[in-house]
Amino acid sequence: MPRALDTRIRPRSLRFRALAVVVLVVVLPIVWVWAAGFDEASELSRQTRELTTVASELAGAPETLVSSAERHRIRIRILDQHSVTHDVDREPDDPWHAPVSSPFYGPSGPPDRATVDAALPPLPDRVETQAARRDGTATHCAVSEAGWMLVCAAAAVLPDGRIVHVQRSSSRLIRSLYADRYPLTAVMLVVLGIGVLLSLWLGWRLVGPIEHLRDQVVDRTRGRVSTEPVVLDRADELGDLASAFNQLLSALEMRSRANEAFAADLAHELKNPVAAVRAAAEAMTTDHPLEGERRERLTRVLTDSSHRMQVVIDRFLDLARAESGLLTAERESIDVRDLLEAIAAPLRADPRFADLTISIACPSAEITAAPERLETALRNLIGNAASFAKSRIDIHGSVGKRKVTLCIEDDGPGIPADELPAIFDRYYTTRNTGTGLGLALVRAIVEAHEGSIEAESGTDGGACFTLHLPLTSGE
């Protein structure tokens, strides 16, 4: 029975991480607005106070005021009781980021210093000027109502009664956000609540099915391992994941059945020689002496049966290793033409094939292979062709961009069309002798080298086996 889904939000779970991302995305912008607003106002105010002191010391030299205003990029004004006597404005009109930030100010565009200053009270009536007349020095920062620009100004009374007024402003977009920090905070709280609910919902919709899938997979490992398909009826990526799991389970089921068939085939092949050995052993326990013909017959039975068992076991081990991909076999780069010539040479010298012509038309090609295993596969194919051929075996090959193709063709009787689909199956043979594992072993070895093999038969006889093997990397 499937376990109930674990809905707890663990610190390292996907649910927790999704919730944390939502909270950070929603909260960090407003935290930045508050922090940046306070920091900028404080820094601007401090700089303005310091510059007022500098301007006071230079108030007697107008040309020095100009250079100081240019160096600090500020506006310096000196006023007496009734009017402004000096006005040096060196504040930048267009910040460097204006082309990027301007569209974010809305239809009205970025704030304009002249418009903002014109909207403020006359210089003698401003807050900092009035406070300076009363206290000697004063500083005042505020976001203007016209243009959302932060303006910081400081005023100081000179010994002769005049007042030096220094002004700096910031037209950064953060000023607009800072002015609206309270409404933005309220919006943030609403969005945060909605975001948390959405993250929990997404966690339920995404993580829940994954956990459900996990529970189904774990349940199949308890007791007797089951390859029954998992169930997750979704038309999205999670449904694709369930389908991938089912493909894996199906492959495992096929492999399990193949292993069962493998064991059954092995038991079947060993049954007869084991029975013969057992019968011989029982005959040896009788009181009759082992002499003459009886001794020879029992010796022949034991020898033939043990040889048969050895052949079967060796073939099965070779087939098992090949079907597992030859994982432990050492591989090296070999020339496929040299390998074919080495296999063909003994056949050409064999008196049984004295009337058989074996021709090889294959260019040199380097492939990475387990030499002994690949030699076994090619030897089986060429040996089969030699046993069926009438007068010739033609081995020809071609080299493509990433693979070499070999064709082993004979002029024998060919393969009946209804037998072609089964010739690579285990124990499929039309001969009275043999194990029927030869071509199954050939296919397993070729596929273990990431290649492929197919067979075809001509209408006038003759069979052709075509192998495709990957070239050594870099060719």
pLDDT-derived band at 3, boundaries 50, 70, 90: very low
Q: Are 309 and 383 in a shared domain?
A: no
- Specify which of 91-100, 293-302, 396-405 reaches the highest per-range mean pLDDT: 396-405
Q: Are 319 and 336 in a shared domain?
A: no
Render 73-129 in DSSP notation, one character per residue.
T-EEEEE-SSSEEEEEE---SS-TTHHHHGGGG-TT-S--HHHHHHHSPPGGGSHHH
Q: Are 306 and 443 in a shared domain?
A: no
Q: 37-65 burial, b if ≥16 CB within 10 A, otherwise e?
A: beebbeebbebbbebbebbbebbeeeeeb
pTM: 0.48
pLDDT over 90 (residue 28): no
Of residues 202, 208, 247, 203, the one with CA closest to residue 2: 208
Least confidently predicted of 79-88, 123-132, 368-377: 79-88
What distance in Å separates the CA atoms of residue 266 and residue 312, rounded to the nearest whole number?
Answer: 8
The answer to whether residue 209 is domain-embedded is no
Q: CATH no. for residue 278?
A: 1.10.287
Q: How do residues 408-451 score in pLDDT, each as one tens digit? A: 999 888 888 888 888 888 766 666 555 667 888 889 889 888 89
The answer to whether residue 425 is domain-embedded is yes
Q: Are 156 and 250 in a shared domain?
A: no
The answer to whether residue 232 is domain-embedded is no
Least confidently predicted of 63-77, 387-401, 441-455: 63-77
Of residues 163, 165, 167, 166, the one with CA closest to residue 80: 163
| 61 touches 38 (CB < 8 A) | no
Q: Are 466 and 365 in a shared domain?
A: yes
The answer to whether residue 462 is domain-embedded is yes
At residue 4, the pLDDT reads 43
Average pLDDT, the chain: 78
DSSP 79: E
Q: Are 294 and 337 in a shared domain?
A: no
Q: Are 315 and 365 in a shared domain?
A: no
The answer to whether residue 144 is domain-embedded is yes
Q: CATH no. for residue 34?
A: 3.30.450
The domain boundary, picked from 182, 213, 247, lies at 182
Q: Which residues pair with 395 in a beta bridge?
A: 360, 408
Q: How do residues 266-301 score in pLDDT, each as one tens digit? A: 777 777 778 878 877 777 776 566 666 777 777 887
Q: CATH no. for residue 408?
A: 3.30.565.10
The answer to whether residue 207 is domain-embedded is no
Identify the domain containing residue 63 by its residue range: 14-182
* Kind of pairing between the strands at 392-399 and 357-361: parallel
Q: Is 156 helix (H, G, I), strand (E, B) or coil?
A: strand
- Structural domains counted in the chain: 3
Phi and psi (nearest 5°) for 49? Answer: -60, -45
The answer to whether residue 88 is domain-embedded is yes
Q: Cβ atoms within 10 A of the Cβ of 290, count?
A: 13
pLDDT over 90 (residue 468): yes
Q: How do residues 238-274 score in pLDDT, each as one tens digit? A: 778 888 888 888 888 877 777 777 677 777 777 777 8
The domain boundary, picked from 163, 182, 201, lies at 182
The answer to whether residue 191 is domain-embedded is no
Q: Are 44 and 173 in a shared domain?
A: yes
The domain boundary, picked from 323, 345, 376, lies at 323
The whole-number average pLDDT for the span 387-400 is: 90
Least confidently predicted of 78-92, 164-178, 458-472: 164-178
Q: How do residues 335-357 score in pLDDT, each as one tens digit? A: 999 999 999 999 888 888 888 89
Q: Are 303 and 366 in a shared domain?
A: no
Q: Are 441 and 362 in a shared domain?
A: yes
The whole-number average pLDDT for the span 136-161 is: 76
Handedness of CA 367, 368, 371, 377 (dihedral sign): negative
Q: Are 149 and 48 in a shared domain?
A: yes
Q: Are 161 and 294 in a shared domain?
A: no
